[in-house]
Amino acid sequence: MYGKYHWDGHAGCNFSCSPEEALKLNNICPVCNKKLTIGVEHRVEELADQDTNSRKNRKQFYTLLPLHELIAASMASTLTSQKTWNLYNKLIAEFGSEFNLLLNAAKEKIAKIDEKIAEVIIQNRDGRIRVKPGFDGQYGEVILQEKQTKLL
């Protein structure tokens, strides 16, 4: 949902919408009345041979944002800043791998390094971080504590 082409929309019109909404609009942009650029989620739904939300016996899965993006968002920094990567490297040195940190590390241990990122990592793990989906070549946006953070 976070990538550049997840939802349908028009970057030039700054309009995006879910596949369901696009279908209601007949895939026409309400701003300029031209065809919307169809996103990945729309195409997946067209190709799906079953309801992807109601599969029984589905294994647990996590939708995780990458650690460096969580750090940048929590620090109101950029993906390429030295302070983002300094904290990233410190966390990886302590916890061994990004997956171990994002999936297994105790909040208390992370908080010893940085309390704010500890909270954001737990929110990420629990699926409580909202993302405005990307569309028409525009990256999605992480929404932390009612503010939007553009990462690119």
Confidence check: pLDDT of 4 > 90: no
Q: What is the average pLDDT score of the chain?
A: 88
More confident residue, 36 or 54: 36
pTM of the model: 0.73
Confidence check: pLDDT of 152 > 50: no
For residue 131 the two structure tokens come to 């993302």
Distances (CA, A) of 122 to 51, 55, 109, 115, 145: 29, 26, 12, 11, 14
Poorest-pLDDT segment among 22-26, 68-72, 148-152: 148-152
Q: What is the DSSP string of 116-128?
A: HHHHHHHHHHTT-
pLDDT of 40-97, one tens digit each?
Answer: 999 998 888 766 566 667 777 778 899 999 999 999 899 899 999 999 999 999 999 9
**What is the rounded distance in angstroms from the CA atom of residue 95 to the CA atom of residue 47?**
40
Confidence check: pLDDT of 148 > 50: no
pLDDT value for 96: 96
pLDDT value for 55: 62
